[in-house]
Amino acid sequence: MSLHTNRDKLVITAVQGGVAPAQQWAPFEVGSNGEVFALPSTGGITYNVKIGDSVFGWAGEHIEPGVSSTYNNSNKKAALGYQFLACCGNMATVVTGSARGSVGHVLGHHGGVDHLMLDFSDHVLNQLSYDDRFLVRGHGQGLKLIDHPEVAIYNIDPDLFDAWSLNETENGAITVPVNAIVPSYAMGSGMGSLSVTTGDYDILCHDESVVAEHGLDRLRFGDFVAVLDHDNRYGRTLRRGAITIGMVIHSDSPLGGHGPGMMTIMSACDNTLIPILDEDANMGKMLNIGRYAA
């Protein structure tokens, strides 16, 4: 059965940002196995890492695919407004420079660094510079399921939500396609944070046996994933029986307590959400962007 939402009541708000410069966090860092490394990390314009690619195997850590963007101003509330109002799947338009008028899409937001990742075609990426600006049609915050007020929804464009192919069963549960189901104990950095509308938290993938048991090696940028026994309705906490659904937005990391980043999309505590494994549960496939672009 189809789901009824309040999408006709959602506010559409323009927010605008620029390129977030690539950063170096330290001359060297130490991974969870004691390895010392100096690798590319967050920020910049990343040409060869895209939605649909594996989050593993890159000579980098916390890599953000496509354009890393931010609100370039010291006004903290305005910067958070850029993160908050821009939802995954929203349209992003280049409003300056050689690529002016080109359209891409929001992947998601990365907490801590307060970066919003934007997907554009190779042709557009090759025309961009650090001087360019991006206007996002912020649309999605406030989305609700009319018949399921117990389900919290954040950070997703209503068109992408509709393309996700969620279904209501005869007993009132909602089946949710995901590419992986993560056990509760495999979540790290970001636990305890209230920033479910502006940040992310990390899937721990340093234990090879856990990765193999739960098929986490198949994680890709843009994947919908489920986390068991996690309640993200009003922050991130452990709660038996809860389910949180999120989207993978940055790469793996060797740092202890870190791993592929997952942005919150849905959460409920009453067995309403039933994750169903589906290898097509990736926003790139649904929107024909990233590695899935025609």
- Give the pLDDT confidence of 104-161 residue by residue, as tens digits: 999 999 999 999 999 999 999 999 999 999 999 999 999 999 999 999 999 999 999 9
The pTM score is 0.96
Of the three residues 92, 111, 139, the one that is the final residue of a domain is 139
Quick one: 80 and 170 in the same domain?
no
Quick one: 243 and 266 in the same domain?
yes
Of the three residues 139, 169, 196, the one that is the final residue of a domain is 139
Q: Tell me if 95 sits within 8 A of 114, measured CB to CB.
A: no
Q: Is 151 helix (H, G, I), strand (E, B) or coil?
A: coil
Of the three residues 80, 113, 139, the one that is the final residue of a domain is 139
Position 1 in a domain? no
Q: Looking at 90-218, which runs of residues are DSSP E strands?
A: 91-94, 103-110, 115-119, 133-139, 152-153, 167-168, 174-178, 180-182, 201-202
Quick one: 173 and 126 in the same domain?
no
Q: Looking at the chain, which runs of residues are DSSP E strands?
A: 12-19, 29-30, 36-37, 45-46, 66-70, 91-94, 103-110, 115-119, 133-139, 152-153, 167-168, 174-178, 180-182, 201-202, 224-231, 237-250, 261-268, 273-277
Quick one: 95 and 186 in the same domain?
no
Position 224 in a domain? yes
Position 58 in a domain? yes
Return the sign of the alpha-carbon dihedral for residues 41, 46, 52, 54: negative
Quick one: 62 and 115 in the same domain?
yes
Position 280 in a domain? yes
Position 7 in a domain? no
Quick one: 20 and 134 in the same domain?
yes
Quick one: 135 and 186 in the same domain?
no
Tracing tokens 């929804």 back to the chain, one arrives at 153
What is the spatial distance between Cα 103 and Cα 228, in angstroms, rounded to a whole number?
A: 36
Tell which residue, 292, 187, 176, has the closest CA to residue 237.
187
- pLDDT string in tens for the chain (294-residue length): 579 999 999 999 999 999 999 999 899 999 999 999 999 999 999 999 999 999 999 999 999 999 999 998 778 888 899 999 999 999 999 999 999 999 999 999 999 999 999 999 999 999 999 999 999 999 999 999 999 999 999 999 999 999 999 999 989 999 999 999 999 999 999 999 999 999 999 999 999 999 999 999 999 999 999 999 999 999 999 999 999 999 999 999 999 999 999 999 999 999 999 999 999 999 999 999 999 997
Residue 163 sits in which domain range? 152-292
Q: Which tokens go with 21?
A: 């410069």
| C-alpha neighbours within 13 Å on the C-beta side of residue 165 | 13
Quick one: 91 and 184 in the same domain?
no
Position 146 in a domain? no
